C-alpha cells in the first residue's frame, strides 16, 4: 500500500554540489519536511557525495527550523548508469566537445533516471514534491536539463505512477551568479561560506586548491562555470556598495 502523498513534503536531489545545496536550502525554506536523495553511478567526482554530510550538518546548524525539517538522507547505488555510459564523467578520458555540440561529460539519460528513481522513492515515502537543480541558463547544453524535458517527465511520472508529483526546478532560469544570490537570500553569508567551503562542483573530482569560489581543478567546464558565476555575483555586490 502506498503512503498518503503529502503536499508539504519534498525530496531534494542532493549531490553535494553548489546547485543542489542551494536547492536544499530553498526546499527547507518552503516545505514542512524535506528528505534528500543522492546517486552513486560510477561518477569520477564521487567526492561530491562525501560533501553532502558536511553540507547537511552546516545547513542544520544555521537555523533550528531547518534542523527540525531535514529528514532522511537516501543514497541509491545505480552503477549500471556508469557501466553503459562512455563519457568523461564516468571514464578517465579528457573532457572535450563531442558531435552535435554536446560535451562528452553528457551522461545520456542521467536526469531522467535520477528523477524516475526519485519519484519511485517519493511514492514510497509519501512525498509529493521533488526538487532538482536542473538549469538551462548557464549550462552545458544537456538536453535533460531543459525545462521542456522536466515538464514532459513530470507528466510521464504522474501518469505512470498515478500520482500528482510536482517537479520543482528553482534554478531553471537563474544564471550561476543568480544562484549564488539565491543562496544569499536564503541563508545569508553563512550559507554562502558553507557552499564555498563544503560543496563540490569539479567534474574531475579534484578538491585541488582553494579558490575564492571554493575547491576544484579550476580548469574543467564545471569549475569554469562556477568561477564565472562567482565573479559576476561579486561584481553585483561591488556595484551596490
Q: Catalog residues that contact Zn ion under the rule CB under 5 A.
A: 202, 216-217, 220, 223
Of 130 and 204, CB closest to Zn ion: 204
Q: What grid cell was written down for 150?
A: 522536466
| DSSP H helices in the chain | 18-30, 47-62, 64-69, 79-84, 110-125, 147-161, 176-198, 221-240
The CA distance from 66 to 157, in Å, is 29
Of 192 and 223, CB closest to Zn ion: 223
Of 28 and 204, CB closest to Zn ion: 204
Of 115 and 217, CB closest to Zn ion: 217
Q: How far is the CB of 204 from Zn ion (least distance, A)?
A: 5
Of 47 and 67, CB closest to Zn ion: 47
Of 216 and 229, CB closest to Zn ion: 216
Q: How far is the CB of 19 from Zn ion (least distance, A)?
A: 15
Q: How far is the CB of 124 from Zn ion (least distance, A)?
A: 35
Distance of CA 2 to the CA centre of its chain: 27
Q: What grid cell was written down for 226?
A: 562556477
Of 11 and 202, CB closest to Zn ion: 202
For the chain, how big is the Rg over CA atoms in Å? 17
The CA distance from 212 to 106, in Å, is 27
CB atoms within 10 A of CB 7: 12
Residue 133: closest CA among 47, 23, 221 = 23
Q: How far is the CB of 216 from Zn ion (least distance, A)?
A: 4
- Residue 75 Rama label (left phi>0; alpha psi -120 to 50; beta): beta
Tell me 4's DSSP state.
P
The CA distance from 194 to 86, in Å, is 33
Amino acid at each position: 500500500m502506498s503512503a498518503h502523498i503529502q503536499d508539504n513534503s519534498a525530496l531534494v536531489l542532493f549531490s553535494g554540489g553548489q546547485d543542489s545545496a542551494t536547492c536544499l536550502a530553498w526546499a527547507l525554506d518552503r516545505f514542512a519536511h524535506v528528505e534528500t536523495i543522492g546517486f552513486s553511478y560510477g561518477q569520477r567526482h564521487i567526492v561530491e557525495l562525501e560533501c553532502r554530510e558536511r553540507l547537511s550538518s552546516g545547513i542544520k546548524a544555521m537555523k533550528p527550523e531547518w534542523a527540525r525539517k531535514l529528514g532522511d538522507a537516501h543514497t541509491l547505488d545505480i552503477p549500471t548508469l556508469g557501466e553503459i555510459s562512455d563519457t568523461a564523467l564516468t571514464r578517465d578520458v579528457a573532457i572535450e566537445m563531442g558531435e552535435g555540440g554536446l560535451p562528452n561529460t553528457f551522461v545520456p539519460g542521467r536526469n531522467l533516471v535520477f528523477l524516475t528513481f526519485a519519484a519511485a522513492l517519493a511514492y514510497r515515502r509519501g512525498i509529493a514534491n521533488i526538487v532538482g537543480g536542473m538549469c538551462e541558463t548557464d549550462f552545458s547544453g544537456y538536453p535533460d536539463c531543459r525545462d521542456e524535458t522536466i515538464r514532459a517527465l513530470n507528466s510521464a511520472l504522474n501518469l505512470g505512477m498515478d500520482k500528482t508529483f510536482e517537479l520543482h526546478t528553482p534554478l531553471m532560469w537563474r544564471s550561476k551568479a543568480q544562484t549564488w544570490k539565491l543562496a544569499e537570500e536564503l541563508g545569508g553569508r553563512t550559507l554562502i561560506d558553507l557552499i564555498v567551503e563544503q560543496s563540490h562542483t569539479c567534474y574531475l573530482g579534484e578538491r585541488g586548491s582553494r579558490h575564492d569560489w571554493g575547491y576544484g581543478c579550476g580548469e574543467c567546464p564545471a569549475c569554469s562555470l562556477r568561477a564565472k558565476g562567482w565573479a559576476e555575483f561579486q561584481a553585483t555586490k561591488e556595484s551596490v556598495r
